[in-house]
Amino acid sequence: MTTDEDDLWESEVLVSDSIGRLIEFWGFKRNMGRLWAVLYLSDKPLSAPALQARLRLSSGAVSMTLNELMRWGVVKKVWLQGERRDHFEAEGNFWKMISRVFNERERVEILDAIDSMRDALQYVNEKAEAPKDQSRAEFQRERIRELLDLAQIGKQLLDALVKDAKVDGTPLMKVLLGGNEKP
């Protein structure tokens, strides 16, 4: 039996589906975005059964999704006095969430790319010793160095972005949203 509180408002459906698609585009599971969005839009922490009812998901799907979201630090467990069930709320600091993903996913990819570029440079340096391969090796060495430089700049930018996860995006959001105007 569901109650009116179990039903999502149209605004929650639209936002959760939108965030779900966006999260899926970034390589995460769609339900991770949907569940996070429902928690983010909720004026109070929600239990797993409440999330299950609102999103029409199985208890196993809600449990696994909550565990993944907590591992990423975008959902946290909260205690409510007088309640026996665990309740959950969404992390509201966007920069903290984004920087964690950058640090754990994108940074690893950039570091792997840098290692591969260095290995490739070592290989072409060895190939350049043979006269018949010298021209090709020189060309590739220059191109690989450019890619390596780009990857190192990317790493530096990413490191600067995620350092301390303390960037105030408010001014940028005001510019992007056109000042203090409300939609």
pLDDT in tens, 32-81: 999 999 999 999 999 999 999 999 999 999 999 999 999 998 999 998 88
**Predicted pLDDT of residue 178:** 66
Amino acid found at 36 = W
**Predicted pLDDT of residue 168:** 58
- The backbone torsions φ and ψ at residue 74, rounded to the nearest 5 degrees and listed phi first, read -105, -5
140-152: burial string, b at 16+ Cβ within 10 Å, e else: bbeebeeebeebe
- Residue 1 — pLDDT band, cuts 50, 70, 90? very low
pTM given for the model: 0.68
**Predicted pLDDT of residue 30:** 95
- The backbone torsions φ and ψ at residue 17, rounded to the nearest 5 degrees and listed phi first, read -65, -40
- Token digits of residue 40: 């983010």
pLDDT tens string 106-137: 888 999 999 999 999 999 999 999 999 999 99
Any idea which fold 4-90 has? Arc Repressor Mutant, subunit A (1.10.10)
pLDDT tens string 133-181: 999 999 999 999 999 999 998 888 888 777 765 555 566 566 566 655 4
Can you give the residue ranges of every domain in the chain? 4-90, 94-165
**Predicted pLDDT of residue 27:** 87
